Structure formats: structure tokens, C-alpha cells
Amino acid sequence: MRTEGNRNDSGIKKLLTSNEAIAEAVRIAKPDVIAAYPITPQSPIVERLAEMVGSGELDASFVRVESEHSAMAVIHGAATAGARVFTATSSHGLAYMFEMCWWIAGSRLPAVMAVATRSIGAPWNIHGDHTDIMSLRDTGWIIGMAESAQEAFDMTLQAFAVSEEVNIPFAVGIDAFTMSHTAEVVEIRDVRLPERRQAYRILPGMEVAVNAVTVGDARMRARYDLAVDLEKSAEVIERTDNEFGSHGGLVEKYRLEDAEYAVVMAGGWCGDAKDAIDMLRDEGVKIGMLRLRFIRPFPEKAVKGLPSEILVVDRANTGIRGILGIETSSCGVEVENVVAGLGGLDVDVDNFYRLFRKFVDGKLEKVEWLI
Amino acid sequence: MILPGNASCQGCPISIVMRCLDEISNPVLAIPASCSTVIAGLHPKSAMKVPVVHVPFPSTLAVAAGLSEAYKRLGVKANVVAWIGDGAADIGFAALSASAARKDDLITIVVDNEAYMNTGTQASLSTFWKAKTTTSPTGKTEERRNLALIMLAHKADYVATASVGYIKDLRRKFRRAEEMKGFRFLQIHTPCPPGWKFPSEKTVEVARKAVMSGAWILWEYDGKLRLSKAGEKYALKENRIPLEDYLKQGRFSHLSDEEIRELEQKIDEDWELLLRFS
């Protein structure tokens, strides 16, 4: 694919939260149909979009639904008819729409969703971790996780381009509050996306059924094709990276060139971890970070290229282990795994410094929880 | 609209209603998990001569709303039909209510067979009081919900009840819905031979007896509520056939005379309530 107008870096700079940056990106993507239900901390995205639709700044249908299940169902229907679509959610909202997430992926419909990543109850907690977005791993969605408002902006626009090229829905993750509600300088690049493309659309007069009951190998073939195409989307993400801010494709490699120790992480909290890495570097420790910008497709090649000492720091668990810990070790590497920062529990630069020091000193257990 | 040789049971009322879809121009159907899913055909075949979008159980009205919004924006002329039944109005009630409240431009057709039939006749909110189902083996203890009246309370653009026993009336209501814009809702009484336990050749007869005994009321609303000509005379109790005649179904075979009288009283109350809106 080719985009126009995003070659020069002379866009307007604005002070925006990641929520606002995503809303700006959606405005530029010109969706036909937006459907959304409020949930903290995602709500400002769709409130801003509703304002834009109200003022005429954005020419789109904004469907006020009664639940997240219906939000995903409305964009499923609209995408089936051939519309460019967007929704946003968090936490319980994602859990509530989970069924439809499977359907839109299985139907191979392009769609974009922002997820302000928040913990899932019980107990109640509105703060950040990655539990919600990680639940999408099995559905077949492309899952990206931004680290800054700029990256949230760029990734959202890239999401439309990639999703509509590979016919797979695309989720853009931003950390709750530390990104969703924190303002940073964002360069608004006025990208012109290609016209909406998709593998099929359903129109009146067609004698066709989509997603009828399958028997035999039809369902297994559909899942296989989706899995293969999801892997192939890595190439499209890498190829289009320089048109959407040049953030590194599937991963960002931070001070990894000569590293003997590697930290694997994803999401907004990587910034503080990078500061801790800088502190250790100043002390002469050869440590760096592999920041996973994508969870699906999983950056297996980059993981395989890491030095042998690997620490994966997770913000979501499955059983006693972290989810990315399991994902990373599934690539055939040995990892140490720390689960931290659940329910917005603060992990600051000092915490990261002490954690990484412990890792480098060989004093970490195989699996630890930072409580 | 529906090809012969489809997978419906003998005497299936749903396939009768599907035939009437030819009254609606440019239809695009959204069908949730239900008997209609199977009747519409197994992949890679389709028994329908119209486009069908198969969707999860609770999602039909929201998917239909998305289709309708998108067609409107993209300049495609279509009548989106949310085709529900077998309990989809229970699990999908929030989406149905929201769609009606938004006055989405679509037609909702409920083929009301008064239970979850495709999963083996479990009780739904639409199941008749005292009816036996596999989850109410001694008879349902709650009264059925009056869905059409709830849609009227949404001030939907068009609300109608109909019956497979009265095809002319049903087709007229389809035409009326087709002529109008906005949120149009039709609830069609569809007696189910295996689910209700009556012989498969008696579908239409049972449907008629429901109306003639007063157990199913034919009415429509387009800003004003009117009884439909086909069934208006049954507003007067002396014109009705004995309720026992309608209740000759396996699901009611356990009823005592006292329970039948109680049922009759509940039917009288339904009429009384409805006529307050006329």
C-alpha cells in the first residue's frame, strides 16, 4: 500500500493525551461508522469523536449503543456492508464484547479498536495493566501496544491501513491513565489512507450466506488461513512502518546492539524501564530492551535474536506466570519472568532499576511477583 | 425466497414465513443461532435466495443496525431484516430495545415459537404460562412476556403481531412494513409441531385456533393501535372458540380444568391491557 502526504514531518504539533491522539488519528482516517459505549479510561476517545461528528468536523455515523457487545456487533455489521469502522473500549468492556471479537476476526472483516488497557475485576480496579488486551490473543486480532501518544496516533492510522490490506481486525493498546490521560507533544501528520478495501462485502441482491453452519473441515481451514495470514501481516506491518512514524515495526530495540542482558516488555510503562536501563548502562552494564510493539503477530524472530540472559516483565498473568513470559519462552529461549504493576500498582524508575540490578546480579527467581 | 428441500421440520411455520419475504424489496437478512440458521442452509450451500448474514445469538439487532447505517452512508438501497426467534429476543433484548429506541431503519421479524426450539424446546420468556418444556417439565410457572407491547412502549415506527394462520394479514403487514421507514417490528405466531407436540399437518390449524380462542391477538400500531380485521371479532369473548380447543397440544396435556380457567382469565387480562392502548 501507498499513502500520501505523510512523507514530510512538518505536521502540526499539539499537546495531546493518548486518548486525544487516537481520536485525532481516527478523524484523519475518516471512518464511516463509529459505535461505542463508555468505559473508563477509554471514554474520552469516543467523547472526542462524538464532538467531532456533532460539529461536522468528522462526517461519520456515530451509533450510541447500549453495551460493548453491541458496539462490536454494530461495527461488525457495518464492516460487512463495506464501511470503514472504529470502536474503543477497556477492561470489562472488552470482556463483554469478547464473543463479537471472535466473530469479526473469524469473518475476516477489517476493523480498528483502541483499548485503553485496564485491569479486569474482581476486585474493582480502574487502573492500568494488560490483562484485558491479552485476552484477545486467541481471537485472531492483530494486537499492537503503543508506548507514547505519538505512537498511539501513528499506530491507529497504520491499523486502518494494515487491517484493510490483510482483512484482519486490529487493536491498538495504550496503558490506562499513564497514557490515556497523560498529555505529550504529538505531531499530527495528515496521512491520506487508501480507500476502504476488504475481501468481500454483502449487498442486497447477492444470493450468498456468510458464516453459515459449517461441517467437515471448513471451520478448521478458516482458522488455519487466519493464523497463517496473521503471521503474514508481520510483513505488512514492517513494510508500512516508515509511513507511520518509523517506530521499528514489530519491535523497538533499545540499546540492544551489544547487550548481554535483555529485558522484554510491552506498553506505556516501558519508558520508565528505559530510564532504569540508562542508569545501568551508565554503570557499565550491557543491558537493553526489546519492546514488543506487537503481541499478535508475535515478534518471534526478534526474540530469537536476543542474548541468552532474558528477563520478561509482564503486566498480566496466566496462573503464576506472566503471559509475555510464556509467549517469549515459546520461541525457544530461556527466560526469567516477573509479574508487576497489576491494577495500576506503580512501578517507577527506581523499582525498575532495582529489579534489573537483581536480574543482572543473577539473584532473580525463575518467576517472581513484584508486590 | 426460500428454496424447496430445505432443512426445516415437517410442518415448520418458519419456512412459511420465509416464503412471505418476497413482499420486502432488497432484503438483507441477519439471522442469529436458531432454527432459522439451519433452515437457511449449511455451508457451503444456502437455501435462501437473499443475502444472509449469520450472527451470534445476542447480536442480531446490533449487527442489523450496523448494516443499515453502513448502507445508508454508502448509498445502498436495502431493507435490513433482523430475523429472530428461538429466544433471541431474550438474550438480545438490550440490543433490540436500543435499536427500537434509536429508531434504526430496519425491519425486525420475530418468529415466535414460544421456546428455544433449536436447542431442544427449553422455556423462554415467550413460553406460555403452564406450558411444558424441557426446562419446565411440570409446566412454566411464569407468565409469557408481551414483547410487541414493549415495542409499542418504545414508540417504534411500526409494530404488528401476525400469525402463520392468517397469511393474507401477514403479507399485508409485511407490505406495510416495507412501505414505511424507521424501526419496524413484527411478531409472528409460529406454532411448532415438535416443540408444542401436535401433528405436523396441523400448524395452520393450531395457529388459527390461537387467534380464534383469543390466546394470540392480531393488532398493529403505526402511531395508533388497531385490532387487525382478521381477528378483531375475538375481542368479544362470545365470539371465541373454547380455549380447550386451542390447548389440544402435548405441552398442555397436563392442565386441570381449574388451570384452564385460570389461563382463560390471563388471556382476558391481556385483551383488557392491550385495548387500553387503542
Q: Which of B42, B43, B48, B103 should be substituted to probe chain A, the one whose Cβ sees the most A Cβ atoms within 10 Å?
A: B43
Per-residue pLDDT of chain B (278 residues; tens, 9 = 90+): 899 999 999 999 999 999 999 999 999 999 999 999 999 999 999 999 999 999 999 999 999 999 999 999 999 999 999 999 999 999 999 999 999 999 999 999 999 999 999 999 999 999 999 999 999 999 999 999 999 999 999 999 999 999 999 999 999 999 999 999 999 999 999 999 999 999 999 999 999 999 999 999 999 999 999 999 999 999 999 999 999 999 999 999 999 999 999 999 999 999 999 999 98
DSSP state of A218: H
Q: Convert B97-109 to b/e letters by CB count within 10 Å (16 or more is b).
A: bbbbebebbbbbb
Question: In this predicted structure, what is the pLDDT of residue A87?
Answer: 98
Q: Is residue B99 part of a domain?
A: yes
Task: Specify if A7 maps to a domain.
Answer: no
Q: Which residues of A touch B44 (CB under 8 A)?
A: 212, 218
Count of CB contacts below 8 A, A vs B?
A: 168
Q: In the predicted model, what is the mean pLDDT of residues A314-328?
A: 98
Residue pair B218/B249 in contact (Cβ under 8 Å)? The answer is no
User: B59–A99: do the CB atoms touch at under 8 Å?
Assistant: yes
Confidence of residue A88 (pLDDT cuts 50, 70, 90): very high
| Assigned domain for B1 exists | no
At A3 the pLDDT is 46
pLDDT value of residue A371:
93
Nearest to A32 among B56, B73, B102 (CB): B73
Residue A276, in any domain of the structure:
yes
Q: Among the three residues A224, A243, A262, which one is the final residue of a domain in this structure?
A: A243
Going by C-beta distance under 8 Å and a sequence separation of 6 or more, which residues neighbour residue B124?
B86, B87, B90, B114, B115, B116
A16 with A115, same domain: the answer is: yes
Please indicate, yes or no, if residue A6 is contained in any of the structural domains.
no
A32/B71 touch (CB, cutoff 8 Å), yes or no: no
Of B46, B59, B63, the CB nearest to A212: B46
Domain contains A148: yes
Element (H, E) at A368: strand A367-369
- Would you call B74 an interface residue with chain A, using a CB distance cutoff of 8 Å? yes
Of A223, A243, A263, which marks where a domain is finished? A243
- The bridge status of strand B225-227 relative to strand B219-221 is antiparallel
- Both A188 and A40 in a single domain? yes
Q: Identify whether residues A311 and A353 lie together within a single domain.
A: yes
Cα(B98)–Cα(A80) distance, rounded to whole angstroms? 21
Whether A351 and A203 share a structural domain = no
The residue type at A54: G
- Residue A1 domain-assigned? no
Scanning the structure block, which residue is given the C-alpha cell 411464569? B142
| Residue A150: inside a domain | yes
First to last CA, chain B: 35
Length of chain B: 278
Picking from A166, A359, A371, the residue whose alpha carbon sits closest to that of residue A273 is: A359
Residue type, A80: T
> How many angstroms away from the CA of B126 is the closest CA of chain A?
23
Average pLDDT, chain A: 96
Interchain CB distance below 8 Å, A81 and B71:
yes
Which of A184, A212, A243 finishes a domain?
A243
In a domain, residue B105? The reply is: yes
**Is it the case that residue A314 has pLDDT exceeding 50?**
yes
Scanning B98-157 for CB atoms below 8 A from A yields 98, 102
Q: What is the three-class DSSP state of A144?
A: strand
User: Domain count of chain B?
Assistant: 1
Q: Give yes or no: residues A331 and A195 share one domain.
A: no
| A221 and A295 share one domain | no
CB B230 within 8 A of CB B164: no
Tell me, yes or no, whether B61 lies in a domain. yes
Describe the crossing of helices A349-360 and A270-282 by its angle, rounded to 10 degrees: 50
Say if residue A209 is in the same domain as residue A304.
Answer: no
Q: How confident is the model at residue A1 (pLDDT cuts 50, 70, 90)?
A: very low
Amino acid at B106: L
Yes or no, beta carbons of B52 and A208 under 8 Å apart: yes
Reading the block at residue A228, the C-alpha cell is: 497463517
**Is residue B3 situated within a structural domain?**
no
Residue A104 falls inside a structural domain: yes
- CA–CA separation, A328 and A277 (whole Å): 20
Q: Is residue B52 part of a domain?
A: yes
Q: Which residues of A touch B (CB under 8 A)?
A: 32-33, 35, 60-61, 63-67, 69-71, 73-83, 85, 99-100, 103, 202-215, 218
> Tell me, what CATH number does B231's domain have?
3.40.50.970
Q: The domain that contains A275 carries what CATH number? A: 3.40.50.920
Per the structure, the complete domain to which residue A137 belongs is given by: 12-243
Residues A312 and A343 in one domain: yes
What's the grid cell of residue B175?
407490505
Burial letters A10-49, b for 16+ CB under 10 A, else e: eeeebebbbbbbbbbbbbbbebbbbbbbbbbbbbbbbebb
Q: What is the pLDDT of residues A270-304, one digit of tens each?
A: 999 999 999 999 999 999 999 999 999 999 999 99
Taking CB atoms and an 8 Å limit, are A77 and B70 in contact across chains? yes
- Indicate which CATH number applies to the domain containing A99: 3.40.50.970
Same domain, A136 and A28: yes
Which of B38, B77, B95 lies nearest to residue A213, judging by beta carbons?
A: B38
DSSP state of B122: B
- Provide the number of structural domains found in chain A: 2
Which structural domain, as residue segments, surrounds residue B45? 13-275
A91 with A154, same domain: the answer is yes
- Give the pLDDT of residue A7: 44
Do A166 and A271 share a domain, yes or no?
no
Query: DSSP letter at B228?
Result: -
Q: Give the span between the Cα atoms of A128 and A180, in whole angstroms.
A: 10
The ipTM assigned to this model is: 0.97
What distances in angstroms separate CA A244 from CA A50, A151, A225, B201, B263, one per listed residue?
25, 9, 27, 65, 68
B2 lies in some domain: no
Reply yes or no on whether the pLDDT at A11 is more than 90: no
Which residues of chain A are within 8 Å of residue B58 when distances are taken between CB atoms? 69, 99
> A122 and A203 in one domain?
yes
Give how far B46 is from chain A: nearest CA, Å. Answer: 6
DSSP string, B80-93: EEEEEETTHHHHTH
Domain contains B160: yes
Q: Is residue A3 part of a domain?
A: no
